[in-house]
Structure 1
Amino acid sequence: MSQITLKQIAERAGTSVGTVDRALNNRGRISPSTKEKIIKIADEMGYQPNKIASALSRSKCLRIAVIYAKYPAYFVDEFTAGLKKAIEHFTHYKIEIITYRCNALDPQSQIEVIKDIDFSNIDGFSLNASGQELAPYINRISDMGIPVVTFNSDIPGTKRLFHVGMDPFMAGRVSFNLMAKMLQGKGKILAMPGFHSVLSHEERIKGFLEAARDYPNIQVIPGGEYKDRDDLAIDLVQKALAKHQDIAGIYTVSSPGVIGAGKYLSQLPKESRPIAVGYDTSQDMKQLMEKDACTFVVYQNPAAQIYYSIVYLVEYVLFGTLPSQELNFLPPQIVVRENIDYYLEGDNKFIFVN
């Protein structure tokens, strides 16, 4: 049901919008009978006061700063889609969402961007946190009275208020268990980290390794750090397969890892390819699945993550209300060739957004 507006109430009551505003907000001069009539009509129509509009009508323009990486585009474009959704959500309010982009998801790249931001006119800060090195910066910004939140990857133990993302440890466990069933409980799996500095990447590896304890006939081989570069992942996969020719599966913790692995595997005969697993969706991922060079991915809904982080942050700045949980996890979803189109179409990525 769409929001009932003051204009709609005014049309029903046969009064001006200003009169309706005075009646509903108990301000200004208005006759008791007109006020009673308007309140009755508003109740009948199911009018709900817009808390955000009311709060902003009494304050300055709200400025929210957001940081995320420029590359790889096939992944961060999902963040951009969620950011646009948040901007659209607040179109009619005095809220400005200012975007800052670092080159990659690594601490030094983000620190350089943070140093250039003038926080004196920022009311809230949301970032895709790249590593523990950012902790003193997050704490310093919080000490300035600016609430800080994280999305996609977290830095616990800091003064950030809350996190929006996917449970990375559980995602690692789910990935291993599915791969183990596909491999019938035996064989070698190459597990490749993206960035050691990124908590979500490390937690996915930890969850993967914990689940592996229940499968004594599966050997997990540690792979090299591909730093969210598909070209580096290609090289690391090639070297690993040259050393361990009987590798039956490859697990990567992010989209660039499995895209790099898939690009290399697509050059091999189908019958000799290991299964390959990673995260998130893109047209590149779809092509690899169609070539049988990527088996499945875990979709973590990056668009909804950034959207929720901004919406919750605005609600905190205006009303002091926090989400019911410090860690707000969206459910992971398994994507294969047969259903990937659904996740590439329009607003389907926002199925968890109210």
Structure 2
Amino acid sequence: MIADKLGVSVSTVNRALINKGRISEETKRKILKTAEEMGYRPNVQAKALSSKDTLRIAVICPRDFYFKTVIEGMESYRKEHEEYRIKLLYKCDDFQSVADQLSALQECEHDEVQGILISAVHPTQLNKQLRLLFKKGIPTITFNNDILGGPRIAYVGLNDRVAGAMAGELMSKYLFSGARVACMATTSAAMGLRERQICFCDTVQKSGKNIEICGPFEYCDNFDLDDILEKVTHILRTEHVNGIYANNMFGTYAISCALRKLGMKDKIVAIGHDVNAELDAFIRDGVLDATLFQNPFQQGYQALKVMVDYLYLKVPVFQPILYIRTLILMKSNLEECDNRLFL
């Protein structure tokens, strides 16, 4: 990238290439010379955008406490780069289905958006609509949950296969040979969540410790805590497990609540995903042994950054998959959990 080669910001490169904004002649000369050497040309779409009042980008994702932090990351980038005049059009519902997201995508053309950021609730059922929009010049970047075989220009988020395997390896190290572990899995069709569950189970089975996996026991991600608590409580009372795992934040919260309610925090190893104030407290109290942190703030920040770079500069997406580093959070390193510091 020109910005990396010259040690300047992307916005400075943008001002030089579209000949707009404050920039010294010497810096502009260096940027234009480097752009020519690297084969870059001003993006036709960028010129069109420069004449508009705002850069309109649709954001499609569920509305919950996890995605609230993703959106905070996007808003942080937007405020840092006011020169782009970014307008984020949030199309968020409490429980997004495939139908909800298809409807939101159909609205995007009428809303005259230049790009779409989406956390896909299904790996394939959105592809037809995304392909139609791409043919009309509206690119898509997925975040948090990816699609298969669709026309997205990039994915920003966790490597869910690695995260599931890390959870499985950690659980295996905690447990003794011949132990039993319950696997809790959301019914969501989102690709990343399925990958976590599969890789967790596969890693535990290959640990060489003859650990028996009970489940997966599925739960509906509808935030009905009483319903999932009843399921988890029944499993803990009847399956005689030594460990329990959940593949998303809601499930992790539910297993933590059940362990505390039953007074079993010192008897069963609990590992899950994500962190918020409630899960932070469970870790500090020793109820939840570890959680895999996927940094939602940086997912939002980086997804919007990649989209803006793509729309304003003719910057080929050399890295179509941008993985956010997976961290294991335990009681000993919770103090380091600052969403805005980790990539």
TM-score if structure 2 supplies the norm length? 0.81
One-letter amino acid matched to 2:325 = P
Unmatched 5+ residue regions in structure 1? 7-17, 25-38, 44-50
Q: 1:297 is matched with which residue? A: 291
Equivalent pairs counted in the alignment come to 313
Q: Hey, what's the Cα distance between the residues in 2 that align with 1:304 and 1:206?
A: 25
Residues 207-245 of structure 1 show CA distances to partners (whole Å, capped at 9, x for unaligned) of 11221232351011113322333614322212222331x
Structure 1 segment 1-354 matched on structure 2, within 5 A = 24=25, 39=26, 58-60=50-52, 61-71=54-64, 73=65, 75-119=66-110, 121-131=112-122, 132-215=124-207, 216-228=209-221, 229=223, 231=225, 232-244=227-239, 246-270=240-264, 273-343=267-337, 345=338, 348-352=339-343
Q: CA offset at residue 258 of structure 1?
A: 0.6
The alpha carbon displacement at 1:333 in A equals: 0.2
In 2, Cα distance between the equivalents of 1:57 and 1:146?
13
Q: Cα offset for 1:58?
A: 4.1
1:164 deviation in Å? 0.6
Q: Distance in 2 between matches of 1:326 and 1:57?
A: 23
| Displacement of 1:174 | 0.7
Give the drift of 1:288: 1.4
1:110 Cα offset (Å):
2.5
Secondary structure of the corresponding residue to residue 307 of structure 2: helix
1:268 counterpart letter in structure 2: L
Query: CA RMSD, aligned part only?
Result: 3.1
Change over 3 Å in CA distance of 1:57–1:223 after alignment to 2: closer
Give the match's secondary structure for 1:126. Answer: strand
d(CA) in 1 for partners of 2:51, 2:108: 23
- Structure 2 distance, partners of 1:270, 1:296, is 16
Alignment check: 8 A CA contact 1:230 1:259 kept: no
Does the CA-based 8 Å contact 2:265-2:287 persist in structure 1?
Answer: no
* Structure 1 residue 254, shift from structure 2 partner: 0.8
> Structure 1 stretches (4+) deviating beyond 6 angstroms?
40-43
Alpha-carbon contact 1:168-1:201 (below 8 Å) kept? yes
Moved more, 150-159 or 86-95: 86-95
Distance of aligned partners of 1:301 and 1:271 in 2 relative to their CA distance in 1, 3 Å threshold: closer
CA distance, structure 1, for counterparts of residue 177 and residue 308 of structure 2:
47
Contact 2:181 2:242 in 1 (8 A): yes
Instruction: Write the distance in 2 (CA, Å) between the matches of 1:322 and 1:239.
Output: 52
User: How far apart, CA to CA, are the structure 1 residues paired with 2:95 and 2:275?
Assistant: 19
Q: 1:252 to 1:137 in 2, by over 3 A?
A: same
Residue 34 of structure 2 corresponds to none
Of structures 1 and 2, the one with the larger relative CO (CA 8 A, separation 6+) is 2
Change (3 A) 1:69 1:275: same
Q: Cα gap change, 1:267/1:146 in structure 2, threshold over 3 Å: closer, same or farther?
A: same
SS of equivalent residue, structure 1 residue 236: helix
Q: Which amino acid aligns with 2:254?
A: G
Aligned residues of 1:126 and 1:148 also touching (Cα < 8 A) = yes
Q: Cα deviation per residue 1:178-203 (whole Å; 9 max; x = unaligned)?
A: 11101134311111112341100000
Per the TM alignment, residue 295 of structure 1 is displaced from its structure 2 partner at its CA by: 0.9
Structure having the higher Rg: 1
1:43-74 deviation per Cα after TM superposition (whole angstroms, max 9, x unaligned): 8xxxxxxx99x968843232111112112x2x
Going from structure 1 to structure 2, the CA distance change for 1:42 and 1:162 (only over 3 Å counts) comes to closer
Over residues 250-290 of structure 1, what are the superposed CA-to-partner deviations in whole Å (9 max), with x where a residue is unaligned?
A: 11111111101101110122466421111111111012123
- Post-superposition shift, 1:172? 0.7
Distance in 1 (alpha carbons) for counterparts of 2:151 and 2:88: 22
Give SS of 2:219's match.
coil
Aligned partners of 2:121 and 2:188 also within 8 Å: no
| Alpha-carbon distance, 1:323 to partner | 3.2
Say whether the 8 Å CA contact 2:181–2:244 is kept in structure 1.
Answer: yes
Report if the CA contact (8 A) 2:232-2:258 is conserved. Answer: yes
The unaligned stretches of length 5 or more in structure 2 are 1-6, 13-19, 31-41
Contact 1:192 1:224 in 2 (8 A): yes
Q: Is the 8 A contact 1:195 1:225 kept in 2?
A: yes
